């Protein structure tokens, strides 16, 4: 029997017979009937053959179709293993770009089963020999480093030759550990056929550890997506007739090419965002941290910055780290009370100046940690913190709050409500600079399950916070972009894309960020410094124009010409903001390499496209950018000179004779 579910951007065909349900195809050209829809293992129920891979699970093979429910935008398929009483339901939710999917498991009879793996999605794939994987690595100040490599070169050697036995047991595995969901790798990938160009894209939507793998069995190839696992993350979860387990959701799209796949992922991210009325407000935020006060704010330093930020047109002014610290700001976090030594006449003096200059006041907050030197470390009970084997976790001078605990949640609620009530704060930059490790076993569960429940409690806290304060805007930051996932970003307004302090190194980060984040959430630092060359000053500003320009720098020390250039950048940025949530990214030269001399990012709209072009070496130099015909015009800066554009049969030739690194934003009328 075949089950066909047709949704706006998906056509899923399932095979139902005397074996487990299989997803036979997700659109014509992606047929593979051999891979079971669900892979699941538990203590006492492993894999055959035994491998590092998460396919060929005994329980997955034992599942049989029970029933399904289908609607125009939703589908659920129930399977059961009669021997163990395990029931597994696969859920699908369609959008105009692709679909989300996840899995739930429970028992129907007495006893318990301790899961050590449950897939969010498994897809059969064919043509392994012809497939490339486009995937991204992430690190502090070196975010969004993408590569495209053949699967046969990254873990899937060609060894299967009939009638030889056994089949291959290798895999291409990508795993992120701990509570930095993007601290090592990005939870997004695209498989592209070198023959047809057809692309399959995905993202794992979890604010904690996750895993995906691509492999090959005797049935064909497969792509497997999941949250935490026992093998990779010390995760197990007990299920029973009264206690179910739900995996993290993942999104899947298909497209005819590389840029089309990322455009579809962009539309899917927009479809799953939980937008509020406040999200329509796309303010330009000035933040005092990057290459400016660097965690050392005082009344004396802030007041002139506030005035200068207002004069160039900032909408929000965010006071970053250190505003609470009597001395070092790192290990004293937790109480979130303004420093008396930094603000001798009271913190309200600074906040009132922000409001008087017509801006919304914002604060940096790292809510999930308590410094080892904070009084709160002794005041909160041990149950409020992550612990392992009865010992409180301590990492980099901080303890880690467990947001499943009511005392921990009350502390955060009281903190945020107090700061809003006392100072009229309308924006929080939520940072997260310390990682949990495997998790917490404080309630007798596995560390990985403790972390997963904390991750979900954090999302609940964010939902409750925004329900209480609907006008509050929140930035997602974790040492830059170490938690750049769509569990968080489906809820939050702005994503810090890096902590990178060098504008030349920021260029490939800003250019590649839209592969992971919708442009209207991608907060790029623009931190020009007075006294630098005009080209370097401009380069800093260009980094932010095609995203969410996040302004910093010693504005109060700048010349009139420098301030005018900032105003021009903000004016250009506001023009982009007017349509930013309708634009989709593309990369005419491909996703940038970390050391590329030329970097190009495009954002496509219905009538014109914007392009940022960075040249990160001294000129003269030129590059041919393969672009369709259209009128080219300067966008920012206007009339700067030093760059030229002319058409050839191969595309748009961009030339610069500037004798230092430089960058421009241009438009291409379609």
Provide long-range contacts, Cβ within 8 A and 24+ apart, for 559-562: 559/530, 562/528, 562/530, 562/537
pLDDT at 326: 87
Label residue 1 by pLDDT band (50, 70, 90): confident
The gap from C-alpha 496 to its chain's centroid, in whole angstroms, comes to 10
What CA–CA distance (Å, rounded) separates 143 from 509?
A: 6
CA dihedral 527, 533, 536, 539 (to 10 degrees): 80
CA dihedral 304, 305, 311, 316 (to 10 degrees): -140
Map residue 109 onto helix, strand or coil: coil
Closest by CA position to 158, among listed 167, 149, 146: 167
pLDDT at 64: 98
Q: Helix/strand/coil (H, E, C) string of 274-335?
A: CCCHHHHCCCCEEECHHHHHCCCCCHHHHHHHHHHHHHHCCCEEEECCCCCCCCCCCCCCCC
What CA–CA distance (Å, rounded) separates 370 from 408?
A: 10
Residue 445 pLDDT exceeds 60: yes
Contacting residues for 563 by C-beta, under 8 A, at least 6 apart: 308, 311, 312, 555
Q: Helix/strand/coil (H, E, C) string of 544-591?
A: HHCCEEEECCCHHHCCHHHHHHHHHHHHHHHHHHCCHHHCEEECCCCC
What CA–CA distance (Å, rounded) separates 489 from 380?
A: 29
Strand partners, 616: none
Are 311 and 563 in contact by the 8 Å Cβ rule? The answer is yes
Q: DSSP code of 431?
A: -
**What would the pLDDT profile of 404-436 be if each residue is shown by its tens digit?**
999 999 999 999 999 999 999 999 999 999 999
pLDDT at 327: 75
Tell me what the mean pLDDT of segment 383-387 comes to: 97
pLDDT at 162: 66
**What would the pLDDT profile of 629-644 be if each residue is shown by its tens digit?**
899 999 999 999 999 9
Greater confidence (157 vs 239) lies with: 239
User: How many residues does this entry show for the chain?
Assistant: 670
Residue 164 pLDDT exceeds 80: no
Tell me what the mean pLDDT of segment 379-391 comes to: 96
What CA–CA distance (Å, rounded) separates 182 from 497?
A: 11
Topology, domain 277-496: TIM Barrel (3.20.20)
Are 246 and 102 in contact by the 8 Å Cβ rule? The answer is yes
Beta-carbon neighbour count of residue 161 at 10 Å? Answer: 8
Closest by CA position to 152, among listed 171, 136, 165: 171
Percentage of residues in the chain having pLDDT higher than 70: 98
Burial of 615 (0-12, 13-18, 19+ CB in 10 A): buried
pLDDT at 169: 83
The chain-wide mean pLDDT, for the chain, equals 95
Q: Which CATH superfamily is domain 2-272 in?
A: alpha-galactosidase from lactobacil brevis (2.70.98.60)
Q: At what angle do helices 534-545 and 560-577 cross, to 10 degrees?
A: 20
Residue 160 pLDDT exceeds 80: no
What CA–CA distance (Å, rounded) separates 284 from 526?
A: 11
**What would the pLDDT profile of 4-23 be if each residue is shown by its tens digit?**
999 888 899 999 999 999 99
Domain regions of the chain by residue span: 2-272, 277-496, 586-669
Closest by CA position to 59, among listed 48, 71, 70: 48
Map residue 614 onto helix, strand or coil: strand
Tell me what the mean pLDDT of segment 382-387 comes to: 97
What Rg, from alpha-carbon coordinates, does the chain have? Answer: 26
Burial of 307 (0-12, 13-18, 19+ CB in 10 A): middle
Are 656 and 622 in contact by the 8 Å Cβ rule? The answer is yes
Closest by CA position to 283, among listed 551, 81, 553: 551
Residue 69 pLDDT exceeds 70: yes
Tell me what the mean pLDDT of segment 553-576 comes to: 98
What CA–CA distance (Å, rounded) separates 312 from 303?
A: 15
Label residue 159 by pLDDT band (50, 70, 90): confident
Q: pTM of this prediction?
A: 0.97
Query: Cis before residue 230, ω within 30 degrees of 0?
Result: no
Are 325 and 339 in contact by the 8 Å Cβ rule? The answer is yes
Closest by CA position to 422, among listed 358, 476, 346, 369: 346
**What would the pLDDT profile of 481-532 be if each residue is shown by its tens digit?**
999 999 999 999 999 999 999 999 999 999 999 999 999 999 999 999 999 9
Q: Residue 224 is encoded by which pair of tokens?
A: 């497997």
Are 536 and 663 in contact by the 8 Å Cβ rule? The answer is no
Residue 28 pLDDT exceeds 60: no
Greater confidence (7 vs 120) lies with: 120
Give the C-alpha distances (Å, rounded to integers) separating 86 from 45, 104, 107, 435.
12, 11, 5, 34
Beta-carbon neighbour count of residue 598 at 10 Å? Answer: 18
Label residue 670 by pLDDT band (50, 70, 90): confident
Label residue 168 by pLDDT band (50, 70, 90): confident
Least confident of 27-41, 92-106, 655-669: 27-41
Q: DSSP code of 36?
A: B
Contacting residues for 363 by C-beta, under 8 A, at least 6 apart: 318, 319, 323, 419, 423, 425, 427, 428, 429
Closest by CA position to 529, among listed 516, 538, 519, 520: 538
Label residue 370 by pLDDT band (50, 70, 90): very high
Strand partners, 79: 65, 88
Residue 158 pLDDT exceeds 90: no
Tell me what the mean pLDDT of segment 199-213 comes to: 98
pLDDT at 220: 87
Token pair 């955060």 is at which residue? 412
Tell me what the mean pLDDT of segment 287-308 comes to: 97
Topology, domain 586-669: Immunoglobulin-like (2.60.40)
Label residue 328 by pLDDT band (50, 70, 90): confident
pLDDT at 413: 98
482: phi > 0 → left, psi -120 to 50 → alpha, else beta; which? alpha
**What would the pLDDT profile of 70-87 be if each residue is shown by its tens digit?**
998 999 999 999 999 999
Residue 30 pLDDT exceeds 60: no
Indicate the helix (H) or strand (E) that contains 158. Answer: none
Map residue 528 onto helix, strand or coil: coil
């Amino acid at each position: 029997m075949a089950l066909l579910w047709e949704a706006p951007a998906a056509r899923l065909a399932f095979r139902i017979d005397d074996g487990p349900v299989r997803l036979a195809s997700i659109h014509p050209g992606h047929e593979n009937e051999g891979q079971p829809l669900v892979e699941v293992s538990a203590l006492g129920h492993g894999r055959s053959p035994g491998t590092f891979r998460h396919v060929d699970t005994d329980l997955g093979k034992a599942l049989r179709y029970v029933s399904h429910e289908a609607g125009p935008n939703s589908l659920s398929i129930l399977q059961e293993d009669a021997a163990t009483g395990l029931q597994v339901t696969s859920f699908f939710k369609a959008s105009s770009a692709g679909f989300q999917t996840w899995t739930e498991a429970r028992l129907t009879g007495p006893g318990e089963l301790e899961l050590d793996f449950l897939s969010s999605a498994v897809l059969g794939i064919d043509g392994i020999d012809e497939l490339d994987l486009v995937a991204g690595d992430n690190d502090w100040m070196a975010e969004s480093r993408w590569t495209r490599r053949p699967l046969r070169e990254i873990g899937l050697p060609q060894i299967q030759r009939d009638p030889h036995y056994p089949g291959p047991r290798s895999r291409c595995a990508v795993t992120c550990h701990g509570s930095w969901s993007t601290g090592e790798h990005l939870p997004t990938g695209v498989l592209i056929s070198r023959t047809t160009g057809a692309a399959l894209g995905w993202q794992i939507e979890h604010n904690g550890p996750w895993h995906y793998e691509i492999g090959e069995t005797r049935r064909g190839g497969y792509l497997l997506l999941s949250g935490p696992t026992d093998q990779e993350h010390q995760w197990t979860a007990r299920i029973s007739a009264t206690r179910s387990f739900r995996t993290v959701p993942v999104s899947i799209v298909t497209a005819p090419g590389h840029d089309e796949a990322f455009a579809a992922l962009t539309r899917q991210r927009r479809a799953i965002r939980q937008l509020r009325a406040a999200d329509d407000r796309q303010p330009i935020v000035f933040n005092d941290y990057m290459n400016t006060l660097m965690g050392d704010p005082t009344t004396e330093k802030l007041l002139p910055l506030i005035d200068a930020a207002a004069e160039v047109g900032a909408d929000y002014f965010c006071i970053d780290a250190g505003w609470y610290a009597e001395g070092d700001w790192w290990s004293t976090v937790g109480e979130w009370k303004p420093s008396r030594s930094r603000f001798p006449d009271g913190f309200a003096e600074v906040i009132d100046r922000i409001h008087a200059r017509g801006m919304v006041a914002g604060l940096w907050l790292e809510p999930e940690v308590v410094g080892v030197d904070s009084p709160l470390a002794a005041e909160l009970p041990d149950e409020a913190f992550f612990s392992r084997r009865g010992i409180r976790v301590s990492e980099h001078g901080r303890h880690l709050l467990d947001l499943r605990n009511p005392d921990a949640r009350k502390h955060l609620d009281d903190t945020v409500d107090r700061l809003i009530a006392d100072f009229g704060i309308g924006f929080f930059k939520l940072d997260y600079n310390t990682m949990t490790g495997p998790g917490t076993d404080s309630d007798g569960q596995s560390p990985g399950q403790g972390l997963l429940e904390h991750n979900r409690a954090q999302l609940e806290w964010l939902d409750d916070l925004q329900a209480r304060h609907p006008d509050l805007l929140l930035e997602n930051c974790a040492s830059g972009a170490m938690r750049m996932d769509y569990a968080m970003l489906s809820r939050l307004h702005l994503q810090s894309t890096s902590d990178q302090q060098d504008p030349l190194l920021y260029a490939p980060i800003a250019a590649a960020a839209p592969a992971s984040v919708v442009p209207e959430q991608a907060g790029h630092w623009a931190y020009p410094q007075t006294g630098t060359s005009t080209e370097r000053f401009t380069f800093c500003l260009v980094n932010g124009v095609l995203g969410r320009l996040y302004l910093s720098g010693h504005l109060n020390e700048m010349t009139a010409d420098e301030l005018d250039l900032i105003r021009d950048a903000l004016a250009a940025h506001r023009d982009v903001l007017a349509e930013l949530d309708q634009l989709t990214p593309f990369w005419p030269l491909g996703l940038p390499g970390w050391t590329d001399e030329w970097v190009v990012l495009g954002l496509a709209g219905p009538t014109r496209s914007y392009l940022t072009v960075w040249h990160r070496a001294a000129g003269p130099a030129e590059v041919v950018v393969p672009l369709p015909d259209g009128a080219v015009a300067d966008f920012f800066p206007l009339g700067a000179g030093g760059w030229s554009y002319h058409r050839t049969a191969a595309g748009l030739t961009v030339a610069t004779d500037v004798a230092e690194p430089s960058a421009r934003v241009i438009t291409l009328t379609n």
